[in-house]
Structure 1
Amino acid sequence: MAKGERVADSVPLISLITINYNQAIVTCEMLESTRRLKYPRFEIIVVDNASVEDPTERINQGNYPNVKVVVSPENLGFSGGNNLGIRHAKGDYFFFLNNDTEVTPDLLDQLLAPFKTNSKIGITCPKIRFYDHPTIIQYAGYYPLNRYTGRTWSIGLGETDRGQHDQSGPTAFAHGAAMMVSRRAVEEGGAMDESFFLYYEELDWSMQIQRAGFQIYYQASALIYHKESISVGKTNPLKVYYHTRNRLLFMRRNVSGFPLYFFILYYFCFALTKAAFLYALKRQKEYLIALKNAILWHFRNKIRRPKKEALPQVVAVS
């Protein structure tokens, strides 16, 4: 039991699930920040996605609150790693947290509060600010998806936090860096789809959970800090591949009819053509290959339309 305290069974157990991939030091920094948490009953599941070095010993040496390390023999990606974490989690709520974040003391209490007031809430997300620019917002909810262009934007992104996004309420999408999900929402909505591997998986899951009848809720009074750069991360062929492949995958799984046909026309005639032209102009052959492979993937793989999937069997953890 967290912090060695005996807590009444009426207090929900929260399973904090985080993924480590060759970043043991960063993960330990996040775990160190969990000592600040005031919530009396939580466990931490660290899923290692086949890192070069097993982080178990380093993490255990830190003597962090109620931590279990689960080492995967293969890299399962974001969705697969989190699904593996669920299999080892005993909580009433799952809190998926990026390893490159720092928590605030009342984070779990604030994220849990909306569930008590509305049974239709399936996911809660905190306000996210950039760690290196602690007054700048990264996430304060999401705008609805444009079904014709496949675009959406994080509310407040890049803005100085002056309290302009302190109104809590339902939002279109959860943010993968920090999202608390009820066990009931996972049981009824299904686990994350593992075909994404990197990027777009939390957007797809948000749609999946909402189709099951649940809301996604932005809790403005909850706050974390994210160590992701405030600027757009450096592009590389792997990122080009998954962003290209998964944007199309997300739309094919979640949009149908005329909006999907319009998106495909827009995507191939404008977005992809523009990207290919720029890569060719800069002689970035490896990016062009990534772009080609991302599109070919769709011709070689049948797309599974979302459906309810059973909650992964929970493994008893001593």
Structure 2
Amino acid sequence: MPMVSFVVPMFNHLAKTKLMYDSLLASVPENLSFELIFVDDASSDGSREWLASLRHPTVKVILNDANLGFARSNHAGIAHSSGEFLALLNNDLILQPGWLEPMLAILENPTLDAGLVGNVQFRVDDDSIDHAGIAVLPNAKLSHIQLLPNDGRRFAEAFAVTGACCVVPRKLFNEIGGFDENFVNGGEDVDLCIRLRLAGKKIYIAYDSRIKHHVSATRGGNGLQCEKNSRLLQKKWRPFFKQAILRSQFTQPLLACPSAPKAARAHEPQIRTVLPACAYALLAVEAALRREEARWHNIFDTPNDVVTSNAQRVRLRTLGFMPTATGHGVSMGPLACLLLECTESVESIQLVGLRLPEWRDRSLRVEVIVNRCQAYTFMLENERRFILRMLNPIFIEGCMQSFSIEANIPDAILLSHVLVNGEMHIIHPGEDNSDEATPLRKPQ
């Protein structure tokens, strides 16, 4: 078997490090030539004293004067490595017998062209699957795959894998420049996988390799830093993300929206595309990427005290019949069109309204067609108030966003207001409702 260099960055959490160390020595194949390199980032919990007490002949210890973070600490350890393969390990893992061999088998198979191999990781607290690869979701966000295939496959290609436990040829890792140190405790692994793929190599998950993981226990989490890492990833690899989403199965996830008024019921629509699938997918992916970019712009590039509303205007224009003003809203004729002038894509649009009393006992079918791309169909039963909720509608840059609304019973409903990303815009009688949205204050 080839020589393997196990590289373990660590920062405090001595008890978990001891568990990882014991499980590693217990699970290493008997005939494996290996070295174990601990890289300590100025731990203050007794970890350094414990490292000094280790007498195992394979152990090397590197002591940093500060917490260098995931990428730089791994680089410090790799610089002192000599193995053919690098096994990069978090210090909060519990390694199981037989975890290493399936990963090495994939890397050593010349027909697979493997550049890096990850494995299946179970949460220590409840034994649920935390990681079986990383995918790009249709909303342009990265997510751990948490299901295993049921077709008996022993391995599969993946978009990316976590750096918490992976194996990569040392020569290849160094040739492509290792981790990008512009990322800080997040994103380094995905970036590495993308660069390996662009170098002609494949990323794999070994389903027969299974371990336990305390999941982000050792480095902690920083929400703002995670957003910075995600923004850098998308900026650096936007075309790659777009291609990955287009290749995946495109669905519209429906999630609860906390901004809905309590007195009304939010209806879940049936969604269909009005465009050919390819054209729809291109528009949808671009809209998802722009939503993320607009969100990051709002977080990082606007003044600390003010968030400018996404919806600069909400205008109502009807086609065929003029709206009837009432004390509660605007009556929709057989066909109406709500036009939104927005500076950027939004995550949710909610049309809030009432059913007129004379139609309260009739089932209503309402269809909303967004930009002639998507059709949302809602079935309203006997409730008086309703919410027509559309998550991640397809927005087209540089255009007025069109919401064509048609009910099977004309003039049976009133629209009172629109929620754009939770911001309320009252629909006033008349053809143009173009009041500027009120800026919101950022939470302190």
Query: TM-score with structure 1 length normalisation?
Result: 0.72
**Structure 2 counterpart of 1:242:** 225
CA distance 1:273–1:187, shift in 2 (3 Å): closer
Q: How does 1:99-178 map to 2 (within 5 A)?
A: 99-118=91-110, 120-134=113-127, 136-143=128-135, 145=136, 149-156=139-146, 167-178=154-165
Measured after TM superposition, the shift of residue 282 of structure 1 is: 11
| Whole-angstrom CA distance in 2 between matches of 1:262 and 1:188 | 36
User: What letter matches 2:224 in structure 1?
Assistant: Y
1:52 to 44, 49, 58: 44
User: What letter matches 1:28 in structure 2?
Assistant: K
Dislocated runs of 4+, deviation >3 Å: 62-65, 161-167, 256-265, 268-278, 281-284
CA distance 1:212–1:51, shift in 2 (3 Å): same
CA distance 1:116–1:257, shift in 2 (3 Å): closer
1:32 to 22, 41, 53: 22
| Whole-angstrom CA distance in 2 between matches of 1:213 and 1:173 | 14
Cα distance per residue 1:18-68 (max 9 Å; x no partner): 111122222122101112124222111111112235633312435456211
Structure 1, unpaired ranges of 5+: 1-10, 286-318
2:290 to 259, 262, 265: 265
Does the CA contact (< 8 Å) of 1:35 and 1:64 recur in 2? no
Structure 2, unpaired ranges of 5+: 243-284, 301-306, 308-420, 423-439
For 2:134, what is the secondary structure of its paired residue?
Answer: coil
Measured after TM superposition, the shift of residue 100 of structure 1 is: 0.5
Please identify, of 51-60 and 210-219, the stretch whose mean Cα deviation from structure 2 is larger: 51-60
Measured after TM superposition, the shift of residue 168 of structure 1 is: 0.9
Aligned residues, how many? 262
| Whole-angstrom CA distance in 1 between matches of 2:241 and 2:210 | 39
User: Which of the two has greater strand per residue?
Assistant: 2
Question: Cα RMSD between the aligned structures?
Answer: 3.3
Matched, 1:213 2:200: yes
User: Which of the two has greater helix per residue?
Assistant: 1
**Structure 1 counterpart of 2:185:** 198
CA distance 1:167–1:248, shift in 2 (3 Å): same
Cα distance per residue 1:45-101 (max 9 Å; x no partner): 111112235633312435456211101112211111111111011110000111100
Query: TM-score with structure 2 length normalisation?
Result: 0.53
Percent same amino acid among aligned pairs?
24
| Whole-angstrom CA distance in 1 between matches of 2:117 and 2:240 | 30
- Structure showing greater radius of gyration is 2
